[in-house]
Amino acid sequence: MHPQSIAIIPDGNRRYAHKNGLGLQAAYGDGFKKVAKVAQWAQEADVKRLGFWALSLENFNQRSATELKTLFHLMKSHISEAISETGELSKRDASVRFFGRLDLLPSELRGAMAELERKTEGNDSLKLDIAVAYSGQDEFLHAARGLALDVKEGKLSLNDIQSLGTDGLKDYLYFPYSPDLIIRTGKVQRLSGFLPLQSAYSEFYFSNRLWPEFAKADFNRAIAYYDSAERRFGK
């Protein structure tokens, strides 16, 4: 059975730029175009939920202001296109949800994100989740603060926390869903803090392709890898 939910770490944009003698804007632009392609392939494979890690919190804190400005400009441009009646999301009946430290982003970009979420909330053929300024470690801190606040306000007791279980804890996370399959491009074989709790029983597929070069054949190989895996869930 094909995976119902896939999350992707689209790594390799800067190496793609260096390899092909491109500027960052052109390289990241090719990467953004790939998102629409993968959404198409996912729907063809009957995937219902698709996630992308667009920007890590570490990248947000460490990349140059020029690179971040380029990324934010491209994000806003693609959001504006997606909002249109003829945009890719309308064609695919896809809804969008952003998660992460969105409060750190420029206000104009946050506004565009909120508008896109609002305009697509009724679409249900594909759920598209996009992590921006996201870190798994920061997500744990966010959950801990939420739990502590609920205890302080009397909504939870300390004993309640123990009985919550992992399903209850997910309600305090930025992203409460567990992907069946996580794909990372760019040769690197680690999660780098992406969905550490949610990925406990996910299958992992690491592709040597740089993200803008990731092709439908690569996507299909990831699906085939998942289909061949024996999923026991601890049994």
pLDDT of residue 164: 83
Q: Per-residue pLDDT tens for 128-154?
A: 999 999 999 999 999 999 999 999 999
Mean pLDDT of 16-35: 95
In the chain, % of residues over pLDDT 90:
80
Contact of 179 with 201, CB cutoff 8 Å: no
Look up 160 and say whether it is catalytic. no
Q: At what angle do helices 24-44 and 13-20 cross, to 10 degrees?
A: 120
pLDDT of residue 158: 81
Report how far residue 172's alpha carbon sits from residue 161's, in angstroms, rounded to the nearest whole number: 12
pLDDT of residue 169: 86
Rg (CA), the chain: 18
pTM comes to: 0.93
Phi, psi of 189, rounded to the nearest 5 degrees: -110, 70
Closest among 208, 209, 206 to 183, alpha carbons compared: 206
pLDDT at residue 86 tops 70: no
Contact of 184 with 206, CB cutoff 8 Å: yes
pLDDT of residue 167: 79
Of residues 84 and 191, the one with the higher pLDDT is 191
Q: Return all residues near 227 (Cβ < 8 A) that are at least 6 apart.
A: 1, 2
The fold of 5-135+179-228 is Undecaprenyl pyrophosphate synthetase (3.40.1180)
Written as one letter, the residue type at 61 is: N
Name the active-site residue from 20, 59, 123, 150: 59
Report how far residue 6's alpha carbon sits from residue 171's, in angstroms, rounded to the nearest whole number: 20
pLDDT of residue 235: 54
So where are the chain's domains? Answer: 5-135+179-228
Report how far residue 134's alpha carbon sits from residue 64's, in angstroms, rounded to the nearest whole number: 17
Largest CA distance in the chain: 58
Phi, psi of 177, rounded to the nearest 5 degrees: -105, 155
Q: Per-residue pLDDT tens for 205-233?
A: 999 999 999 999 999 999 999 999 876 65
Look up 13 and say whether it is catalytic. no
Report how far residue 91's alpha carbon sits from residue 206's, in angstroms, rounded to the nearest whole number: 29
Report how far residue 188's alpha carbon sits from residue 146's, in angstroms, rounded to the nearest whole number: 33
Mean pLDDT of 41-59: 96
pLDDT of residue 87: 65
pLDDT at residue 112 tops 90: yes
Name the active-site residue from 11, 30, 129, 180: 11
- In 79-177, the DSSP E strands lie at 94-99, 126-134
Q: Per-residue pLDDT tens for 13-25?
A: 999 999 999 999 9
Question: Which has the minimum average pLDDT: 75-89, 96-110, 177-191?
Answer: 75-89
pLDDT of residue 231: 66
Q: What is the mean pLDDT of the chain?
A: 92
